[in-house]
Amino acid sequence: MSTTPRLPYLDKTVPEAWKALNALALKVAAAAEAAGPERETIELMNVRISQLNGCSYCLDMHTRPAIEAGATVQRIAQLPAWRESAVFDSVECAVLDVAEVTTTLPDPQARGEALAAARQLLGDETFAAVEWAAVTMNAFNRVSILSEHPVRLRS
């Protein structure tokens, strides 16, 4: 058993910041909905970002809405290998590319090339909405990881 004291939950310790992050998430979700990517695509992006960040809490939280939005277990299982998989269309691949670039921040040239290709396919409005959605998901991942939010078994 660890003698290190548990870290504080960021959302409970500074609830005003948590409320502001949630307000941002609502604005970003509305922008994404207005810009056109399917809800399933955004939820698959959220799952992929959470996989990359190793955020078990957010993986648990976003897998259910992804399935409710139409994602299959097969497609969710294929997310780590989406570039090699034939189960994602070109828009989904562009969104997943934005998600990975936003999360991993590769070197500027690779980042620029990937984002330019996604922007060309998605168009400016959808591209910006997807980027904001990825930035926001990454922020939620950081809060959950740093707060060590537990995942509880569901029956």
The full length of the chain comes to 155
As a whole number of angstroms, the distance between CA 125 and CA 129 comes to 6
Per-residue pLDDT of the chain (155 residues), as tens digits, is 567 778 899 999 999 999 999 999 999 999 999 998 999 999 999 999 999 999 999 999 999 999 999 999 999 999 999 999 999 999 999 999 999 999 999 999 999 999 999 999 999 999 999 999 999 999 999 999 999 999 999 87
The answer to whether 40 touches 66, Cβ cutoff 8 Å, is yes
pTM: 0.93
As a whole number of angstroms, the distance between CA 136 and CA 97 comes to 16
Q: List CB contacts of 94: < 8 A, sequence separation 6 or more.
A: 117, 118, 121, 122, 130
